[in-house]
Amino acid sequence: MKSDREVCLMVTELAKQIDDHLRSHLTGLNLTATQAIAIRELSSPMTMRELAHQMTCEASNVTFVVDRLEAGGLVERTPHPDDRRSKRVALTAQGRAVRARLMRQLTKDSPLDPLSADERARLQTLLAKAVRT
């Protein structure tokens, strides 16, 4: 039976492999790794705070990333319909095209490829239980 330490080391290594995988598939997309993560996470419009949570970073970092993506025409900020103090970030048509291309790239040689669909589902269930989502 694996110790907690060994499990933590394996989870950390998997996270590193996933990050390395993302970085290795950015060629031709003209995105930094952080911008790619933002694009990946923007599957639907969300607030800057929600995006920061999804990206596991500070809101001030997201502001900088979104500024750059907005300057590149990939995202737009709009007023939140229910909270005047908040802005929502959404992909533009160009951003959706870049996201689709990014998501295709990320399915190539994924660190999770050795797992069957059933194993991925079980891993997802176990990780969700461990992180209490």
Residue 107 pLDDT > 80, yes or no?
yes
Could you list the residue range(s) of the whole structural domain that residue 16 is in? 4-131
Q: Tell me, what CATH number does 28's domain have?
A: 1.10.10.10
φ, ψ (nearest 5 deg) of residue 90 = -140, 150
Question: If phi over 0 gives left and psi between -120 and 50 gives alpha, with beta otherwise, what is residue 73?
Answer: left
Which position has the higher pLDDT, 85 or 6? 6
Q: What per-residue confidence (pLDDT) applies to 1?
A: 59
The H-assigned helical ranges of the chain are: 4-24, 33-41, 48-55, 59-71, 93-106, 117-131
Residue 40 Cα to chain centre, angstroms: 4
Report the distance separating Cα 69 and Cα 55, nearest Å.
Answer: 15
The tally of domains found in the chain comes to 1
